[in-house]
Amino acid sequence: MRLFRRASLIATSLVVVAALEVGLSLPGWTQQKDLVDTAVSAGSFNTLAKALTEAGLVETLRGPGPFTVFAPTDEAFAKLPPGTLEVLLKDKDKLRAVLTYHVVAGKVMAVDVVKLTSAKTIQGQDLRISTMDGVKVNQAKVIKTDVVASNGVIHVIDAVVLPN
C-alpha cells in the first residue's frame, strides 16, 4: 500500500511539473503573469517597463486590478519628438500622468472597446476611441488586442498618447 501511495504521489508530481512546463493550467492553479510581467516577457515594451519603474507604477500594475493598458511599443516611444522621453523620465509627475493616461480601470476586452467612443483613464482624462480605419485610441492605432494577464488586459498601440 505504501509503495502504491508513493508511486501515485510521484506520478501526480510529474503530471503537475509537465503541465506547468507546457503552460497548461490546472484547476486551482494560476500561472498567468500580471500586466507588468506579461509586457516584459513580450520583449517589445522595454521602454514602457523602464518608464513604469521610473514613475513608481510597477507595483500598481502588479496589483489586483483589473486594468486595461493601452501599451505603446518601443517603436511607439521612438516616434516621440527628440528629447521628449528624456524629459519625461526626469519629471516623475509628468511621466506618471502620461503613463496613467494609458490605463483604464477594469478589464475591457476588444469586443467591448469597439463599442465605446471614449474611456476614462486612471489619470482622470478620457481617451477618444474611434473605429474608423481600424481601432484608434486618440491618434494611436491598436495593433494587437486582448493580451490577457492575471490582473487585466493589454491592447498594443503604435504611438504614445499624451494627455491634454
Going from N- to C-terminal start, the domains of the chain cover 1-31, 32-157
Partners of residue 104 on adjacent β-strands: 68, 121
**Rounded Cα distance, 125 and 107, in Å:** 18
- The amino acid occupying position 132 is M
Cell 502504491, residue? 4
Query: Whole-model pTM above 0.75?
Result: yes
From 3.30.930.10, 2.30.180.10, 3.40.50.720, 3.90.1150.10, which CATH number describes the 32-157 domain? 2.30.180.10
Please tell me whether the peptide bond between 27 and the residue prior to it is cis, using omega within 30 degrees of 0: no
Which pLDDT score is estimated for 12?
40
Which pLDDT score is estimated for 1?
52
* Contact (Cβ atoms closer than 8 angstroms) between residue 82 and residue 120: no
Cell 513604469, residue? 52
Which pLDDT score is estimated for 2?
53
A 10 A CB-CB count for 58 gives 17
Which pLDDT score is estimated for 39?
87
**Rounded Cα distance, 65 and 8, in Å:** 39
Which pLDDT score is estimated for 21?
40
Split the chain (164 residues) into runs of 10 and give each run's mean pLDDT.
46 40 44 85 90 92 93 95 94 95 96 94 96 93 94 95 92
